[in-house]
Structure 1
């Protein structure tokens, strides 16, 4: 259900712990027919391409016009101050520090259309036990009733400019990697400060593209006051729930409306009652025309991350070590969150957004695991890399430039494999488990207990430690925490014997994975009520006792588990980090060589949460032998799913419309499929027709196409969007949002 970048925020946390490298470039958009005739057995055209807007010119622009684009290039993107273009109508929605999604202006008064799940955190935040807007929906009858959302900010893209030349000209040709990085950082900061020129309303970023081979500067206008205007009830906005997540057919009204506010003099400011609606440079016009298979579709949005042109050693590492442990970690965390929700209604409301986000990530990794297997992705990538080696070796100059690239990449991932799965699993165990985090509170005191010459703990320090522990224990659901920890340890038991954390050998004897998992369950059950991490009285007895200094002074097993996991994480991080010194220069050269080998006049870069355009067509697909999915779902299809129980409970007021009340052709379309190339971060991306008018709202991809974040499978990858006609139907006939319809000129 989610294409928000936040869905994969926790993976980004690990990236912030380590030094990573960016991904590489892609093929040019292939030739495609102007219109698609419904032939289910015919191969799908390859419409992959997440294009920077300045790239859409020349041959690429001509190909898009053949597909159905009717706008001149300057209407797509124009960085001249006095000229507005479509980029001014689209905005990046940031939710806290964890990424976010996309929205678009649909009126001259700062009204924003985005996904219900992009607004989900905000809706949950303004809800309470007495008024749960997730369940009931929300509609503000006037400006005064619109609710300010905490942790939401907007970034309106006004410029994308290449600055590679400015940076490269400052770097000596013989500079080593460290010196290059230092000079690059300095010059980038200078460019950013010069562009901002003291303007606090601007945010300027310089991002690497094509694994650091080129750099582009993105300039945004910041909006700091964001308010909830209208959201349907969860039975519409999240119809199908986690069961239908990433699936087709879908019948979800995944939309919500926000509004941007600024101070009276037009300056970006945090929420104040006196702020006024923002007037955008450009807003989108709604088009309610009937859609057909083959119609041109265009998306604008902020895709988060793709990894398509990374190497076969990287893909093999992902398949064997990264995906399986991430799936195990997210599954353990979700099970704990679900138990918390089941145990406490207030917790169920407060962690609803987190549960939805983690469930989305879990299904994503499940889809990746299956996709890599179903499409034999690693073998395909090995074949591509073999072609790359042959290309490099066929020319003496290329061989000198690229001949060592694949051996260096293989060496890098050989090092990564030594500790990568342990690192990911211990990191996420520490990130997700409050019990393990609480264990870190005792670390200094544990060191004191082992050494009589260490710094003495005063009464005040002991009291402070006790107060911290008591506060933590009072705030957490211990039953859920113990379940989560049990499953995390059981996931560690599935690692190869030589890479299991030492804690599994300290307390458990059996090397067999299944037997070991049973022993872990019994161990946690025994420790549940007898540890400083679970019992405040036991914690106090140790914190305030006169310690006997020896190795046996503190033998609390559950604490020792937390300590060992942290030490294992630190050691594996140190070992894993060694591979970057081989990976980063080789990855950059690999990207450069791959771009040269394609010979394409224009190449798009992997996603990095910057503004991108994708072009596609409305099209169904064949998910399995003998099965064809049509590209539209209907009102009657939604009613057929209705059970009366969540998540398939169609609201009563939506159940009793006759055909004549729906549309002129007696058919109400709800969701549709297209071949647009999107990923996490594109949630809420406007789907536009060839004239740049709004016909839908992207909210998901299909489970078969998830693998395209790594390896594009044109026959499988589809974007799932809400038809704008369904959104307007609900607004008119269910929620009577007349003022918004008039504001959008759709009344």
Structure 2
């Protein structure tokens, strides 16, 4: 191979050169190269202790928390540590103006006081299995992409169902990897009785709120404590007062020694979604479509919510969880688009694609199959660009917009033929929506989003309701919304009750909100149908490109994109320099809390109870202090994480818990697309700070006694 070709191939990977701190690795597929890299970086625990389907191992202590976060089991009686923002909705559901657990925190003084959460579950991974050959046997080269998808999806479902058929306590899920070129089966066991045990006040768990979200330095005690319950045989069971604490097969020990610059650190959790292999055309579409729609529409909605939350305690409690969930990825989208531009991500992607295109042209077998790969991708992304963008704004403005529409869609999709338990849970979920719903706020949001959507899309993408606004209401959105809310029966639980009781005087499909929901579904379907041909070709092109990339570099240590399955990332604790003249340290202390309180006087996002400030000022940190006697709050490593990793265990070289991952950093928000080794950081809350708050502020010493604390000092 001549020097020019070597240089070209090197360019391909210049945007994602795999270093020891990059990659979200499948524990069941750790190759020799990855294992060696971990050992060289400092891992002391035998690799077999990380994941072993036949023996207790570290992975057995890690859970998927609710399907949207991660957590770690830390006691023989099923205590689970996760993030405060992961448990936020549970804390909110149990809160009221009289018992404001969001503001004041929550402590169960005994196990009878631990609070059940019917919609919450935790999931343990038991084993994984590569089923690629079996799945791909169902495909043929002559298939269209839609035919291939149907065949693949059917077999994936069949393989997954086989697990539950053999053992009803297990769940089998087959997931796709490398854009649909590989398939792995994961076998899980779910536990549905998960109870709230401890939550710090939001002044700790959400300190800094939106201002500090996705930002370092950080001083947020982002943690919550739950407990898993099981039946008397330690098997999954629905909530019952007779259930007992779950006996874990492996409990994560906790280190009180902390970390230093360069300390080995690994993260185990369930990262949600990355798109490291996405084409430049796909990245460009995401920026102008989904990301920009979130930025524009959620910004409008959240401003209304936040204004009312700051005015009224009852609204703050009702809307806290919704606001938290919405604002998280609103700010993420802002940061991602900014980082993509500033870090020249599109240019890096295009350089890589140019190199791959040259390799295809030089390789006869590849040229025959893939000569038009990139021109096809470019053409099809262009063909669906405008309607795809409109669909993104449509989804944010309507499907994920006014809560009245969400209620209408939920009622339309209600499955009364499901198992009675599922019907009951869904009804409870619906009633919970009503309990956290304010008509006047929702009407204002509806009016604002109607205006926002009209201003952002072409008139051909306006649903029929705009014709009614213009013709029957003289273009007055306020009048239309007032009339809609006055006429619909489902704005209150009374309409739902009439429907459920089969009231013959109430015709559901004639209800104006339900009729609007149907019109919106039809419009969205029409828009989606208009992109179907282009979308199929894009799906095929992205799959072929990902596969070609791996064929071109057969000796490269590829890792698959995150897809909500259990992953390991590893690296070291360390600071970084985000820009010239700035150097960020690798940890923060309670001193920074005082500084931020002073800097942001009058800002409720940085308000903190006087008793907490007094506790910090006392300096009485005991065994939880670092070697300097300081109370560390947060720390950073270069572990590779993304959404879903929230609550992931951060372990040291011996497999001892150092803290919980809860955020990424603003300068590398493009990390879901391209890993930036010099900038990208994982922000974690120090476990010693968590224990300090539990013991000294919460006075919950009994919880500390359950833990396995290790200290060399």
Fold match, TM over 0.5?
yes
**Conserved in 1, the CA contact under 8 Å of 2:283 and 2:346?**
yes
Name the structure 2 match of 1:123.
Answer: 91
220, 237, 241: which one aligns with 1:273: 241
Name the structure 2 match of 1:299.
Answer: 267
In 2 relative to 1, CA 158–293 (structure 1 residues): closer, same or farther, beyond 3 Å? Answer: same
1:411 aligns with 2:379: yes
Q: Give me the whole-angstrom Cα distance separating, in 1, the residues matched to 2:116 and 2:610.
A: 30
Name the structure 1 match of 2:61.
Answer: 89
Name the structure 2 match of 1:737.
Answer: 700
437, 451, 454: which one aligns with 1:490: 451
TM-score (norm 2): 0.84
| 1:29-84 superposed Cα distances (whole Å, 9 cap, x missing partner) | 7355xxxxxxxxxxxxxx2200000222301110111111112221111112xx11
| 1:542-601 superposed Cα distances (whole Å, 9 cap, x missing partner) | xxxxxxxxxxxxxxx999998976664343222123322211221111110112233344
TM-score (norm 1): 0.80
Q: Give me the whole-angstrom Cα distance separating, in 2, the residues matched to 1:560 and 1:132.
A: 38
**Conserved in 2, the CA contact under 8 Å of 1:439 and 1:533?**
no
Q: Give me the whole-angstrom Cα distance separating, in 2, the residues matched to 1:279 and 1:224.
A: 15
227, 230, 235: which one aligns with 1:259: 227
Name the structure 2 match of 1:338.
Answer: 306
548, 570, 588: which one aligns with 1:615: 570
In 2 relative to 1, CA 401–267 (structure 1 residues): closer, same or farther, beyond 3 Å? Answer: same
Bigger mean CA offset, 679-688 vs 239-248: 239-248
**Conserved in 2, the CA contact under 8 Å of 1:426 and 1:566?**
no
Q: Give me the whole-angstrom Cα distance separating, in 1, the residues matched to 2:539 and 2:306.
A: 40
Root mean square deviation of aligned Cα: 3.3
Name the structure 1 match of 2:7.
Answer: none
Name the structure 1 match of 2:40.
Answer: 66
Name the structure 1 match of 2:287.
Answer: 319
Give the 5 Å matches for 1:458-607.
477-495=438-456, 497=458, 501=462, 523-525=476-478, 527=480, 529=482, 531-534=483-486, 568-607=523-562
Give the 5 Å matches for 1:339-488.
339=307, 341=309, 345-431=313-399, 432-434=401-403, 477-488=438-449
1:702 aligns with 2:660: no
**Conserved in 2, the CA contact under 8 Å of 1:29 and 1:49?**
no
**Helix, strand or coil: the match of 2:452?**
helix
Name the structure 2 match of 1:30.
Answer: 18
**Helix, strand or coil: the match of 1:308?**
coil
Alignment size in residue pairs = 647
**Conserved in 2, the CA contact under 8 Å of 1:639 and 1:650?**
no
23, 29, 38: which one aligns with 1:49: 23
Name the structure 2 match of 1:515.
Answer: none
In 2 relative to 1, CA 210–487 (structure 1 residues): closer, same or farther, beyond 3 Å? Answer: same
Gaps of 5+ in 2: 1-12, 413-432, 492-511
Instruction: Give the C-alpha shift of residue 724 in structure 1.
Output: 1.3
Instruction: Give the C-alpha shift of residue 193 in structure 1.
Output: 3.4
**Conserved in 1, the CA contact under 8 Å of 2:71 and 2:648?**
yes
Gaps of 5+ in 1: 1-24, 33-46, 444-471, 510-519, 540-556
Q: Give me the whole-angstrom Cα distance separating, in 1, the residues matched to 2:397 and 2:16.
A: 41
**Helix, strand or coil: the match of 1:591?**
helix
Give the 5 Å matches for 1:120-159.
120-159=88-127
Instruction: Give the C-alpha shift of residue 364 in structure 1.
Output: 0.9
1:647 aligns with 2:605: yes
Q: Give me the whole-angstrom Cα distance separating, in 1, the residues matched to 2:676 and 2:56.
A: 36
| 1:628-652 superposed Cα distances (whole Å, 9 cap, x missing partner) | 1111111111111124653223333
Instruction: Give the C-alpha shift of residue 436 in structure 1.
Output: 5.2
**Conserved in 2, the CA contact under 8 Å of 1:316 and 1:378?**
yes
1:665 aligns with 2:628: yes
Name the structure 1 match of 2:643.
Answer: 680
**Helix, strand or coil: the match of 1:409?**
helix
Q: Give me the whole-angstrom Cα distance separating, in 2, the residues matched to 1:732 and 1:435.
A: 43
**Conserved in 2, the CA contact under 8 Å of 1:418 and 1:576?**
no
| 1:7-49 superposed Cα distances (whole Å, 9 cap, x missing partner) | xxxxxxxxxxxxxxxxxx99997355xxxxxxxxxxxxxx220
Q: Give me the whole-angstrom Cα distance separating, in 2, the residues matched to 1:267 and 1:635.
A: 42
**Helix, strand or coil: the match of 1:419?**
helix
| 1:438-489 superposed Cα distances (whole Å, 9 cap, x missing partner) | 8999x9xxxxxxxxxxxxxxxxxxxxxxxxxxxx999964543343233323
Q: Give me the whole-angstrom Cα distance separating, in 2, the residues matched to 1:87 and 1:163.
A: 21
In 2 relative to 1, CA 521–731 (structure 1 residues): closer, same or farther, beyond 3 Å? Answer: farther
Q: Give me the whole-angstrom Cα distance separating, in 1, the residues matched to 2:381 and 2:100.
A: 48
